[in-house]
Structure formats: structure tokens, C-alpha cells
């Protein structure tokens, strides 16, 4: 499922407002107390000495991260393996549920740990980057941008033999979305709600794409990678301009604890090398996905 709270957090920062230099309008907050109880083994030297690195990745989030035959799989998992290989250590993965919001995910998995059970990881994968948000979350270093995500529209080619569909078409045509996703919110609020009657909601993007393939709807709307993961013969995908969409494209990277900047530099170096030599693009190609270059 789409980590909808992640994109909602960034959408709140995307509307036009006064122009400031980076972090100029942010007043540093009091440092959190009792936030260092689980920091053993997080620095780069310790990771290299012990021979493994811990990654946190979202559970049930295909094609990015999920469990397959009892083992973690997906694009983000392969990114983690690439990082570990460049560091010369073993990768270990923890598939974690999404919290109430991105702040909670970072608190639970990067800089403090959950209230009950679990522990922080050295690196959290698939963390969206936004400059203003990075100013606010001072306990975390956002680095290692390895891809971009973008909202797209999948469609039955027989239903649109000439013009590819844009949101205005869904005033009359049917479109599948994941329930309560950012695409759902966008379409139901677009043009004063005129498109709401064409929206069909499904529990996941996989289900939405399945419905499209079965002819239950004429189109589906959501993040490009999740649409591509469910593509079937006779289904096309395009990325049209989306009027009024605050955040239709965003950059994805990693997060590490702010104490361990050396680790962040090493991880970023590994990702940069993977982007330059084509290994990251190859990971996406192996999963049948388009690699959108990140803003770095």
C-alpha cells in the first residue's frame, strides 16, 4: 500500500508561501529527552567491525518491500543489498509497519525506537526527501536519494485508442484507486468533487490494477512503480500533467541517525556509485519498473 501519510506530510509543505533560505523560517525545538537508549552499534566503525548492517523497510509495500517465501524482497531490499555490498558487510532487514505519520516512522525506526518491543535500525529505506521537512526533523539525516516516485495513470488501451486519459475524463469514466490514498483524495476533491462519481476504491494498488485488467474500470491512478508492478497485456501507463496536485513527484532516499553522519556519507557514496554505474537502474529493470532519476 502507498505510505499515504508520507506523501501527506510532504504535501503540507508544498503549497506556495513566503520564500525563505533553507531552514531560515524554522526555530529549533527543545531536544527530545531519553532518546539515546538504543544507540549501541550504530556507528560506521562498529558496523564494519561486527560485519552486518540493519535496514528498516516497510512491510506489505510491493514492489518496494514485502515478504516472499518467508524472505524480504523488492526494490528497496535490493538497494539495501547494494549498500551492504559496497560497505563489505552482510545486510539484515526488518520489515516494519507504517506508523501514524512519517515522524513516528523515523522516531520508531531511526532515532529512538518503539515504546514496546523492536529497536532502531542503522538505515531506514524509502524515506521521501523534502528540504523543509528535513529542517524540522533534527534527529535524522536524510541522504542517499536513489529514485523518484511520480503519480501516473494506467488505462485500458482499447478504451482509449486515441487520446490517453487525464483526470478530467473521470467525470464520466471509471478509475480505480487505493482507498484513502493521495490519488483518492485528489480525484474526489478535483473540480469541486465533479470526478467523485467515477472513482472506484480498492484495498491496494495491486487490487486496483487487477480490477483494471479485468475490465471493472477504464483506468487506475497511483504511483508509477505500483501501477507498473500490476501491469497486464492491453494496459498502458502515462504520466500526464496534474493540475492542482501539490506533490505529484517526490524523491526517495534513506534516513540515518544524526549522530552517525559518517555512516550517512558511506551510504550516500554507495548509492551514488550505484546510480553512476547503472546498478540501481538495473534493479528497477529486473523488477519491470522505470527508474526515475532522483534530485540529488
In the CATH hierarchy, which fold is given to the domain comprising 4-14+33-148+248-286? D-Maltodextrin-Binding Protein; domain 2 (3.40.190)
Q: How many CB atoms lie within 10 A of CB 31?
A: 8
Best CATH choice for the domain 150-238 from the list 1.10.357.10, 3.40.190.10, 3.30.420.40, 3.30.980.10: 3.40.190.10
pTM of the model as a whole: 0.87
Q: How many CB atoms lie within 10 A of CB 213?
A: 18
Helix H or strand E segment including 278 = none
What are the boundaries of each domain within the chain? Answer: 4-14+33-148+248-286, 150-238
Strands 175-178 and 199-202: parallel
Full DSSP string of 45-90: HHHHHHTEEEEEEESSBTTTBEEETTEEESHHHHHHHHHHHHHTSE
The answer to whether 4-14+33-148+248-286 and 150-238 have equal CATH topology is yes
CA 19 remoteness from chain centre: 27
> pLDDT of the chain along its 296 residues, tens only?
445 555 555 544 443 344 445 666 666 665 555 555 455 568 999 999 999 999 999 999 999 999 999 999 999 999 999 999 999 999 999 999 988 889 889 999 998 887 766 789 999 999 999 888 888 888 899 999 999 999 999 999 999 999 999 999 999 999 999 999 999 999 999 888 888 999 999 999 999 999 999 999 999 999 999 999 999 999 999 999 998 887 889 999 999 999 999 999 999 999 999 999 999 999 999 999 999 999 88
Cell 538495473: give the residue. Answer: 282
Amino acid at each position: 500500500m502507498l505510505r499515504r501519510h508520507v506523501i501527506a506530510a510532504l504535501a503540507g509543505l508544498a503549497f506556495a508561501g513566503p520564500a525563505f533560505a533553507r531552514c531560515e523560517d524554522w526555530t529549533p525545538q527543545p531536544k527530545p529527552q531519553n532518546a539515546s537508549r538504543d544507540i549501541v552499534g550504530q556507528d560506521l566503525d562498529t558496523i564494519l567491525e561486527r560485519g552486518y548492517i540493519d535496514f528498516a523497510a516497510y512491510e506489505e509495500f510491493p514492489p518496494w518491500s514485502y515478504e516472499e517465501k518467508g524472505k524480504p524482497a523488492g526494490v528497496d531490499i535490493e538497494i539495501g543489498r547494494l549498500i551492504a555490498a559496497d560497505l563489505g558487510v552482510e545486510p539484515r532487514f526488518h520489515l516494519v509497519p507504517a506508523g501514524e505519520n512519517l515522524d513516528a516512522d523515523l522516531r520508531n525506526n531511526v532515532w529512538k525506537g518503539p515504546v514496546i518491543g523492536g529497536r532502531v535500525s542503522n538505515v531506514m529505506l524509502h524515506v521521501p526527501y523534502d528540504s523543509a521537512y528535513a529542517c524540522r526533523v533534527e534527529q535524522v539525516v536524510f541522504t542517499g536519494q536513489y529514485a523518484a516516485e511520480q503519480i501516473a495513470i494506467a488505462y485500458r488501451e482499447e478504451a482509449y485508442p486515441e487520446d490517453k486519459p487525464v483526470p478530467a475524463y473521470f467525470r464520466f469514466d471509471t478509475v480505480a484507486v487505493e482507498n484513502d490514498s493521495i490519488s483518492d483524495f485528489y480525484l474526489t476533491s478535483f473540480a469541486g468533487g465533479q470526478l467523485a462519481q467515477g472513482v472506484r476504491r480498492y484495498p491496494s494498488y495491486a487490487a486496483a490494477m487487477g480490477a483494471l485488467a479485468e475490465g471493472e474500470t477504464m483506468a487506475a491512478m497511483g504511483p508509477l512503480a505500483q501501477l507498473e508492478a500490476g501491469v497486464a497485456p492491453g494496459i498502458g501507463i502515462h504520466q500526464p500533467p496534474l493540475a492542482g496536485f501539490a506533490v505529484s513527484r517526490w524523491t526517495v532516499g534513506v534516513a540515518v541517525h544524526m549522530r552517525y553522519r559518517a555512516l550517512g556519507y558511506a551510504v550516500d557514496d554507495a548509492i551514488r556509485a550505484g546510480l553512476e554505474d547503472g546498478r540501481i537502474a538495473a534493479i528497477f529493470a529486473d523488477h519491470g519498473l522505470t527508474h526515475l532519476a532522483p534530485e540529488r
